[in-house]
Structure 1
Amino acid sequence: MSTSIRVSDGTKRMLQTLKKEDETFDELLARLAQSERPIAIGAWSEDDADRARAAVKRSRESFER
C-alpha cells in the first residue's frame, strides 16, 4: 500500500540533507520517527545510567576549561 504526502520544497531539501545515499524517503521517515520515541523509564541499568551521568559531567567540564 502506498500513500502520498505533500511537503514544501524547503522541507524536501531539509529531508534530502538527512537522507543517507542508499536510503529511500520511506526509510528516512521511519528512521526519524523511530528516533523520536521516548526512552522507556528504567531502560538503562543503574551502571549504564551512572556511566552516562559521568560522561555528561566530563563533557560539561571540558567546556568550562
Structure 2
Amino acid sequence: MSTSIRVTDDTKEMLEKLKRDDETFDELLERLVQTEKPINIGAWSSEEADGARDAVKRSRESFDR
C-alpha cells in the first residue's frame, strides 16, 4: 500500500539532507519516528511546576526594573 504526503519544498530539502544515500524516504521517516524521543507530558510534579513558574516570574520581574 502506498500513501502520498505533501510537504513544502523547504521541508523536502531538509529531509533530503537527513536521508542516507542507501535509504528510501520511507526508511528515513521510519528511522526518524523511531529515534525521536516522545514528549513526556506531565513529567514535572506540582512542586516542580510551581518552582518553574516562580522562576519565570522572578526572571520577568528582574527585567521590569
Cα RMSD (Å) of the superposition?
0.9
Q: Cα deviations across residues 44-64 of structure 1 (Å, max 9, x unaligned)?
A: xxxxxxxxxxxxxxxxxxxxx
Find the aligned partners of 1:13 and 1:28 in 2 and give their Cα distance.
13
Q: TM-score w.r.t. structure 2 length?
A: 0.56
When Rg is computed on C-alpha atoms for both structures, the one with the higher figure is: 2
- State the match for 2:44 in structure 1: none
- State the match for 1:20 in structure 2: 20
Identity %: 71
- State the match for 1:36 in structure 2: 36
How many residue pairs match? The answer is 38
Gaps of at least 5 residues in structure 1 are 39-65
Q: TM-score w.r.t. structure 1 length?
A: 0.56
Deviation at 1:37, TM superposition (A): 3.9
Deviation at 1:30, TM superposition (A): 0.1
Give structure 1 regions of 4+ aligned residues with deviation exceeding 6 angstroms: none
Counterpart residue type for residue 22 of structure 1: D
Deviation at 1:36, TM superposition (A): 1.1
Gaps of at least 5 residues in structure 2 are 39-65
